[in-house]
Amino acid sequence: MQKLLFALAGGIILLGCAASRPEIPVDRGSVEPGSKVTRGGTTELDLLGPGLKLGDQLPSVSLVDSNLRPVDLSTRRGEVLLVSIVPSLDTQVCERQTHLLGEAKLPPGIRKVTISRDLPFAQQRFANTTGFSDILYLSDFQKAEFGHQSGLLIDRLYLLARSVLVVDRDGTIRYLQVVPELSHLPDLPRAIAAAEALLPGS
């Protein structure tokens, strides 16, 4: 009987550990596009491309939405863009980052965007599963042109570095965070505050 109780207690502990969501650190620092990020705190990875800066326009490249239609974000005007960039939606940190974006209650005039190198079909599956239909999912899967032009393409992995951009209604980048460590989350509340500050009357 005692052995059975110990076994049951052990099972409950194991289930509790499996059910609890591990805490993911939030990074408040940033590195420059075109520089380096780390993976696991030790492995350095180069970011390929010239690199965006505050005050730049978004690069004019063709991304693909979940319906396989080309979208060039550099041509969008009239709304503030809150752009969340993730390596892959199928990983835990990226999923959490996108959940935070999807759960955010934003005022009218701010458009939520997620960019990754996942296939458009995988992005659509994620949208259907989570119900976050107010996010514009865009894929850089074809030639990683957005990654190259922005300085956010990770060498060797050929995924996009975890980042957040805020683009004003004239297409100018007003906020930029490139998370130094791939396993950390960006400071999304600060990016949201930056986006809201760009709305008329703010």
Q: What distance in Å separates the CA atoms of residue 138 and residue 70, rounded to the nearest whole number? A: 9
Q: How far is CA 194 from the centre of its chain?
A: 16
In which residue are the tokens 């970011």 written? Answer: 47
Question: Of 51, 49, 84, which is closest to residue 162 (Cα–Cα)?
Answer: 84
Catalytic one among 63, 94, 113, 192?
Answer: 94
Q: What distance in Å separates the CA atoms of residue 188 and residue 79, rounded to the nearest whole number? A: 19
Task: Name the DSSP class of 185.
Answer: B
Q: What distance in Å separates the CA atoms of residue 112 and residue 116, rounded to the nearest whole number? A: 14
Active site residue 94: yes
Q: Are 49 and 148 in contact (CB under 8 A)?
A: yes
User: What are the phi and psi torsion angles at 8 (to 5°)?
Assistant: -65, -40
Q: Are 151 and 33 in contact (CB under 8 A)?
A: yes
Question: Of 150, 162, 172, 189, which is closest to residue 54 (Cα–Cα)?
Answer: 172
Q: Are 37 and 184 in contact (CB under 8 A)?
A: no
Q: Which positions are annotated as active-site residues?
A: 94
